[in-house]
Amino acid sequence: MAHRIPWIIKYRPRKVEDVVDQDQAKKILIPWIEEWASNRIPSKRAVLLWGPPGVGKTSLVEALARTYGFEVVELNASDFRRKQDVERIVGVAATRRSLFKKGYIILLDEVDGIAGREDYGGVEAINRIIDYTKNPIVMTANDPWNDKLRSLRMKVSMIQFRPLGKRDVMSVLKKICSIEKLFCEDQALSYIVDKAEGDLRAAINDLQNVGEGYGKVTFDLVVNLVRERYKSIDIFKTLTRIFYARYGWVAKNAVSNSEVDYETVMAWINDNMPRKLGDPRDLYRGFDSLSRADVMLSRAKFKTAWELLSYVFDYLGPGIAFARKYGPVKKERFGYPEKIKLMGRSKEVRGTRERLARLVGQKIHESRRKVKSEVLPYLTVIFRYSQEPSIPARLAIELELEDKMIDFLAGGRSKEIKETMESLRYGTEAGEKSQQKLTGKASTGESKRRPGRRRKPSKDTRFKPLF
């Protein structure tokens, strides 16, 4: 393959004039940036660029920055999920002066990506930062109408981006054909333009796939190869296209257009390869390719050498597709990778651990970090190994632990401890009184005491305050 860099990167607009169409958006954005550039603060400190993918939202921001001499601090959805990260990165950038440039443009790309998640803190934090930022904040979104973005929408000026006109898409494709010295039939280009529906990213990708694969772009080729738009395809389609690919580029496209990130694609391939490749020699080649992809991806990230991504696509796409040589594709169904299941579970556990650390920290006036490193280990030992279940049970009552926290601390012993807590709570008057004294709460009396639950605890499990 002659070219390794995806053309959408190679032909990224450098200057504002390179961004085709979108005149409406430019009309609002340019004066806004000029105001910042002359050290004034416009009435809206943030803008939200919204519209379908592949129409120049991100490109225009980067081009503006270059034209007006701003540095871009770019974050995308995975970076600004957590409130702390937003405050740490965006908050700092919002008030910092750039040493050599006019200032920073803070680009929060695809903010609708955070709206769907449970961690809502990110949006709130952005909201607060907009009030005091000394640098322009630009957000982009495909769909800005999510309810969770409502408060943001009020604070920003909303700038709509529309699907690109066919003529503009065509002109960019033609320019690329001539720079690449690629033979392109007009009719073929028209076909690509029609299929792209105003999405220039999709059009350029199609052009590259055909052009690089066949050395020319003719109508016959295009009609056969550009059947549908390879946009954002889900993981099952991605896998199907990789494992059943008859052409290398189909597999490669499947990877580069997958809606999940490359690490996730790798986890899925890793677990599903044995389900699909029967012959051990095929498996060997498949895993070999997968590990090379892994190496390339970490190099690409570590050195921010994104041109290496193309190798990642090659190893994950055609590399896996053509690993199969000796055996047919097995019929077995794709399954969820263990690693992702585990991460899901451990995320929940981490959440519990964090909440527990906060709770204990509040009671004993210590930081969460200290609690995690110096208190939780002892609590775990007490909950798991103390001879008397009443000791952890009393601790759990005093600290008002949630069930999940008790499970976390006690592991297999959690049921025993919860039962002991029950009998401490409902067992004796003495128990209630001392608990009252301890938590300073008035007893809720009969309502809390369930009839028939009165169990007489053995003497030594009776509630005694610990501290």
User: Contact residues for ligand ADP (CB under 6 A)?
Assistant: 8, 11-13, 18-22, 53-59, 140, 164, 172, 200-201, 204
Which of ligand ADP, Mg ion, none binds 316 (CB below 5-8 Å, type-dependent)? none
Binding at 256: pick from ligand ADP, Mg ion, none (beta carbon under 5-8 Å per type): none
372 binds, among ligand ADP, Mg ion, none (CB under 5 to 8 A by kind): none
Side-chain half-sphere of 396: how many Cα atoms within 13 Å? Answer: 29
Give Dmax (Cα) for the chain: 92
Structure tokens at 367: 């930081």
Distance CA 318, CA 149 (A): 40
What pairing do the DSSP bridges indicate for beta strands 46-50 and 157-160? parallel
Q: Which does 235 bind (CB under 5 to 8 A by kind): ligand ADP, Mg ion, none?
A: none
**Identity of the residue, 58 or 310, whose beta carbon is nearer to ligand ADP in the bound complex:** 58
Binders of Mg ion in range 32-71 (CB under 5 A): 57-58
Question: Which candidate, 82, 99, 102, places its Cα nearest to that of 39?
Answer: 102
Choose from Mg ion, ligand ADP, none: what does 21 bind? Cβ within 5-8 Å by kind. Answer: ligand ADP
* Distance of alpha carbon 143 from alpha carbon 166, whole angstroms: 23
What is the residue-wise DSSP string for 110-133? Answer: TTHHHHTSS-THHHHHHHHHHHH-
Instruction: CB nearer to ligand ADP: give 172 or 321.
Output: 172
- Point out the residue whose Cβ comes nearest to ligand ADP: 56
- We find the least distance from the C-beta atom of residue 29 to ligand ADP, in angstroms, to be 13
Place of tokens 């007893």: 443
Within 8 A by CB and 6+ apart from 61, the residues are 49, 72, 105, 107, 138, 140
Q: Is 135 in the site for Mg ion (CB under 5 A)?
A: no
* C-alpha to C-alpha distance for 339 and 265, rounded to whole angstroms: 12
Compare residues 21 and 314 and give the one whose CB is closer to ligand ADP.
21
| Nearest CB to Mg ion, comparing residues 199 and 282 | 199
Q: Among residues 58 and 310, whose Cβ is nearest to Mg ion?
A: 58
User: What does 312 bind: Mg ion, ligand ADP, none (CB cut-off 5 to 8 Å by kind)?
Assistant: none
Shortest approach of Mg ion to residue 325 CB, angstroms?
Answer: 39
Closest separation in Å from C-beta 30 to ligand ADP = 14
Partner whose binding site includes residue 12, from ligand ADP, Mg ion, none (CB under 5 to 8 Å by kind)? ligand ADP
Q: Which is nearer to Mg ion, 9 or 466 (CB)?
A: 9
In angstroms, how far is the first alpha carbon of the chain from the final one? 73
CB of 49 to Mg ion, least distance (A): 9
CB 142 to Mg ion: min, Å: 9
Residue 159: closest CA among 51, 267, 260, 63: 51
Beta-strand ranges (E) seen in 19-116 are 46-50, 70-76, 103-109
Residues 426-445 that bind Mg ion (CB under 5 A): none
Residue 58 vs 208, nearer CB to Mg ion: 58
- Residue with the two structure tokens 């408060």: 151
Q: Distance of alpha carbon 406 from its chain centroid, rounded?
A: 30
Taking CB within 5 to 8 Å according to partner kind, which of ligand ADP, Mg ion, none is near residue 83? Answer: none
Question: What's the rounded Cα separation, in Å, for the pair 82 and 124?
Answer: 10
Q: 300 near 315, Cβ under 8 Å?
A: no
- Least Å distance between CB 19 and ligand ADP? 4
Closer of 20 and 225 to ligand ADP (Cβ): 20
CB of 22 or CB of 390, closer to ligand ADP? 22
Q: How far is the CB of 179 from ligand ADP (least distance, A)?
A: 13
Helical residues (DSSP H) of 257-317, grouped into ranges = 262-276, 280-302, 309-316
Shortest reach from residue 251's CB to ligand ADP, in Å? 22
Which residue from 290, 283, 330, 285 is spatially nearest to 312, judged by alpha carbons? 290
CB of residue 23 vs ligand ADP: minimum separation in angstroms?
10
SS3 339: helix
Residues near Mg ion (CB under 5 A) are 57-58
